[in-house]
Amino acid sequence: MPTPLDHEFVRAVARAADRSAVPLAAGPDEEPAGVPHRGLARRVKTLVAAYRSPDSALHGSGQAVAAAMTHLRALRATQTTTGLFAGGDNVQSPPDSGFTVNDVCDAHVLAAGAGPELSEVTAALAEIAGAASASLLTGGVHTPNHRWELSAALARLHRSFPDDRLLDRIEEWLAEGVDIDAEGLYSERSANYAAHVSNPSLLLLAEVLGRADLLYAVERNLAATLDLIRPDGTVETVHSRRQDQNHPFPLAPYLPHYRLLAIRTGRGDFARVARLAAAGGLDDPDLLAETLLTPDLCRPLPAPTEETLPRDRYLTTARLAARASATAHTVVYGGSDVPEHRRIRSGLACNPTFLRLFAGDAVLDAVRLTRGFFDLGPFRAADMEQPADSRYRLTETLTAAYYQPLPRDRRRDGGVYRMTDEGRFSAAMAFPDRPRDEVSHTTRVEVDLREDGADLRIDISGPRVPWALELTFRPGGVTEGAVPIGDGRWCLTTGPMTYRVGGDEIRVEAGVEAGEPLAGPDESDVLRYDPGQDYTVVGGTDATTGNRVYLGGHGPQTLTVALHARRSAPDV
């Protein structure tokens, strides 16, 4: 009895590939000028997949074959004498070349199974793969996910061109252990790299090596991601340690992984998310090749299970909490790496947003708090506690110092001292050798998550310094109850105010428990976001854009802020 197929999915996948491949096949001799090596390999894979697919307009097309050969010649021309590919910021990069070789090897499997009509394509792919093999076998990496991408390339090379040395090298990388934590998050905590690199690489390695533990790692990551899916169809990234920490990431790239594991395990929650990821239509041309290489993707999904609301999740390793209800979806975050490392750095989680709130079309994208304390930047919690269900406490203590004269035995003739960094700046003052007078500043934010939003209690203690709480709303709505102060900015004193989009709204009410009155709209020096000197010293910023509402004043201060959502038609 033949295996049942999801014909609607198969046809949609073929159409997505055709939108990319058909124009390429229409000009099969046109040189692909300016296309990087990864793009060339991906195009070849899509053209070969379209040639192989009975649902593609290019099924059995000679023009698709000719276009593939044109791109293969261009790809071969980018290969250096080492077999690695030229181009990109990472010079002679084994992992970057590994991305390309992964597509080359997938295309080779598809072409080799197509018969003599694709013999020239098969031979060209084998030549490119063979030229890169030695450098990938001995090459190194510089990010955590590169280990799995490079290992996947070695596994694909072994699949088509068996060589035990490739397997031995894979085992060296895998012996380090997959970097997945107790909650199911990879060490980079990045939706982008989970969806595009770690998950697909580990799935391939599980298949080629017969490693069920690698398959289970992917299932754990997908399970953790269930609670990171936001109502707008994106995946939460505020806790990421990579570039996506400041940008929304779509759910769609997770589609093949949720779909495959839903089919193989019968998990209805994965099936629900697979449908959600495809709800906006399929536009990834790579999906066609994936369905041909992994036919299980074409089987019907199991029955989806409905999402249970309200739902709470606290990812302790990332210090990120989420509460979802029919009215609101609220995220609280206290897992920045900056308090420990005391620097803004690629590879660290640096986003100072500590809360988001979704209420249908009304979205509070970011809540941030800045303090004018030695230009050390906005509040980033160093600690996050959960004293009770749906209640969280975020805390950060900043410390700066004034330095005393050097002890007699540390003084040097000529006044030349070693250049050192004291946490805020560097100078030739031998800071570690000096007595220091410390000044401290503590910020504590208590968040009580409710079904319709959150209640905040913010306590700012220490010396008298200016502070500003910034609420950034997604554009498209109307601000009522706050005073406009120009440039998409508003001032709120004791409120209330609302941000309304259609019938959906977020209401904000503020009150002072202790301290001076809140700043008025004429105090522009207080009502602003300050990214801190790590950004400003190089003329940069991590400021948000959108409709920004400010509360401000001078600490010490204790204030309350209530954020409550109302929906015209809550999700059920």
Residue closest to 68 by CA, chosen among 91, 41, 39: 41
Residues 6+ apart with CB under 8 A from 314: 320, 321, 386, 392
Portions of the chain given CATH number 2.70.98.70:
312-400+441-566
Cα–Cα dist 454/460, whole Å: 19
- The token duo for 99 is 């991305």
The DSSP element (H or E) to which 551 belongs, if any, is strand 547-554
What digits encode the pLDDT tens for the residues 232-290? 999 999 999 999 999 999 999 999 999 999 999 999 999 999 999 999 899 999 999 99
Please tell me the predicted confidence (pLDDT) of residue 572.
Answer: 46
Cα separation, 81 vs 228, whole angstroms: 44
Average pLDDT over residues 38-42: 97
Distance CA 423, CA 119 (A): 62
User: Residue 495 — pLDDT band, cuts 50, 70, 90?
Assistant: confident
Residue 92 pLDDT level (bands cut at 50, 70, 90): confident
Give buried/exposed letters for 481-502 (b at 16+ CB in 10 A, else e): ebeebeeebbbbbebebbbbbe
Question: What are the helix (H) ranges across 210-337?
Answer: 212-226, 255-265, 268-278, 287-293
Whether 179 shows a pLDDT value over 90: the answer reads yes
Give the model's pLDDT for residue 441. 96
Note the pLDDT of residue 256: 98
| Residue 571 pLDDT greater than 70, yes or no | no
Which pLDDT value is given to residue 1? 58
The single residue listed with the structure tokens 């040639």 is 51
Cα–Cα–Cα angle for 271, 110, 297, nearest 5°?
A: 10
Residue 475: C-alpha distances to residues 229, 487, 546, 548, 561 (Å): 21, 13, 5, 10, 22
Q: How high is the pLDDT of residue 514?
A: 96
User: Given this model, what pLDDT does residue 423 score?
Assistant: 83
The C-alpha atoms of residue 422 and residue 401 are separated, in whole angstroms, by 9
**Average pLDDT across the chain, whole number:** 95
Task: Check if CATH label 3.20.20.220 holds for domain 312-400+441-566.
Answer: no
List every span in the chain annotated with CATH 1.50.10.10.
7-298
What SS3 state is found at 485? strand
Average pLDDT over residues 403-423: 93
Do 107 and 45 form a contact (C-beta atoms < 8 A)?
A: yes
pLDDT of residue 538 exceeding 80: yes
Tell me which fold the domain 7-298 belongs to: Glycosyltransferase (1.50.10)
What does the pLDDT look like over 370-391, one tens digit per residue?
A: 999 999 999 999 999 999 999 9
Query: Which tokens is 478 given?
Result: 């109307």
Predicted TM-score (pTM) of the model is 0.94
Q: How far apart are CA 361 and CA 232, in angstroms?
A: 8
